[in-house]
Amino acid sequence: MKNTDWWRGAVLYQIYPRSFKDSNGDGIGDLRGITEKLDYIAGLGVKGVWISPFFKSPMVDFGYDVADYREIDPMFGTMEDFDALLEGLHARDLKMIIDLVFNHTSDRHPWFTESRKDMINPKADWYVWADAKPDGTPPNNWQSVFGGQAWRFDARRGQYYLHQYLDEQPDLNVRNPEVQDALLGVAKFWLDKGVDGFRLDAINHCIQDAYLRDNPSRPENERTPDRDYKNTYDMQRHLYDRSQPENLDFVRRLRALVDEYDDRMTVAEIGDDDNIARCIEYTAPGMLHTAYSFSLLTERYGAHVVHDMVGAFREKGAKSWPTWAFSNHDTKRVASRWAVQGRVDTRQLKMLQALLCSLWGTIFVYQGEELGLPDTKVPYEKMQDPFGKFAWPEDVGRDGCRTPIPWKHTMANAGFSDTNVEPWLPVPRNYQDSAVDVQDKDADSPLNFFRNFIKWRAKQPSFVTGDISFFETREPVLSFTRNRIIAVFNMGDKEEVYTLPGGTKPLEGHKLPYKLNDNKLDLPAFGGFFGELG
């Protein structure tokens, strides 16, 4: 089949539809809202979009609990709205990647409704069921990602079912060939509709240990500052509840299906202790096209973080292709998470935009990053995220990165809705100053910087498919080459000096600040430089 590898080195824009644009005044973003803003998306210069789930769902986890994989939830619109959105994207030469959740469904999915009836129905083995221990406790010690045990007892069936996420998200038994066939049928449905690819949610979780063995506890020497040990999930080494070798056979079947269509792609969401190694495993020849790594969604900040994570992928997985992001719908926005000394700084935001889009791999930019939006604090009484409610106040959950996009600074709700209705999450007052219409008029805004940088990047083929090689530098300076282009970033808030290789000629047009005297490079706080090696 025709395969142009359009995704390789592309910059793609992630849309969380609930929070992008509300077209009908109910306070919740929808598919028509995205269609209304297609010219805006095209104007960013990105290659396409990844849209988080819009399938029929009770919305306990806001669409990641699917009740029907082939229906649009009325909250987001109709199948006709979806078709119009897809047509509008393709008319602008933009790709559409949709989010498929194959590890679990909603407990209201008809498959689960039937499976829980008894142990002999046709779908009895479509979910992960297990008997209680003699004392009535769960089959093993596995923990939910959201905290607490990963098993719930179902009195009707008289067994426990596995839920690696919320109680309302029972795990499918992807070991079962019938389940695999059903899931591949879902993928085929959307491929036939014309989508350009899939982001595969929690794909390495889909098959667990056949013997349901206990996970060992995590030794003290493996406990890092990144991990929140108030969450029981992080107290274990996850040897048996995810990333089982048998799962790779299902992934190969999925890739074979996708390869029957022209110019389609798959990106795996991988969460694992050794995230880089697992991403490489899932993107080996014959596996998925690329893997979405959590490695740069960390709280840790600095040149060494980017150097170590991207460098490790390049060193260990030269035949694989990575995907990088600094923010998404599950993490604190990078403007706040990586703010030096806790201060959101527009100069840093521009530098981070340029850095992310200069890395080797496919790039995902989460909605609002082009505006430099910070994370927000949602008061408890307005919180929506079930994980945030569970972990509050130690962890406020994911609502802060999901607040609606501000479009017009003078309108109620910053133009997210065209009415005064209260949106599903509050729009913080300081977002109005960062609204799209404000930044449109400011040549020096983060939005216009992003647009200009993506346009400039498109003229540098090395940034699309070029190799990467890092220089050894002292913090906070990061330096690497993409073929014959050298990139240098000052990730700190103080001026830094860097010596360039002799004969380096500057590449102009990217608008990051620097001063060059022979081969001595002066980088102001959050400055950056691109040059062509002599």
Q: What positions carry a catalytic annotation?
A: 201, 260
Our separate counts of H helices and E strands in the chain read: 14, 21
Taking each helix axis as running N to C, give the angle between helix 446-457 and helix 346-356, from 0 to 180 degrees, rounded to the nearest 10: 20
The token duo for 322 is: 């990575």
Q: Exposed, middle or buried by CB within 10 Å (0-12, 13-18, 19+), for 136?
A: exposed
Could you tell me the end-to-end alpha-carbon distance of the chain, in angstroms, rounded to an integer?
41
The token duo for 125 is: 């083995």
Q: How far apart are CA 367 and CA 92, in angstroms?
A: 19
The token duo for 235 is: 């107290």
Closest CA to 5 of 272, 321, 246: 321
Is residue 340 within 8 A of residue 347, CB to CB? The reply is no
The token duo for 245 is: 């070798």
The token duo for 494 is: 């103080």
Edge-to-edge order in the sheet of strand 528-532 = 468-470, 477-482, 485-490, 528-532, 505-506
Closest CA to 55 of 74, 42, 38: 74
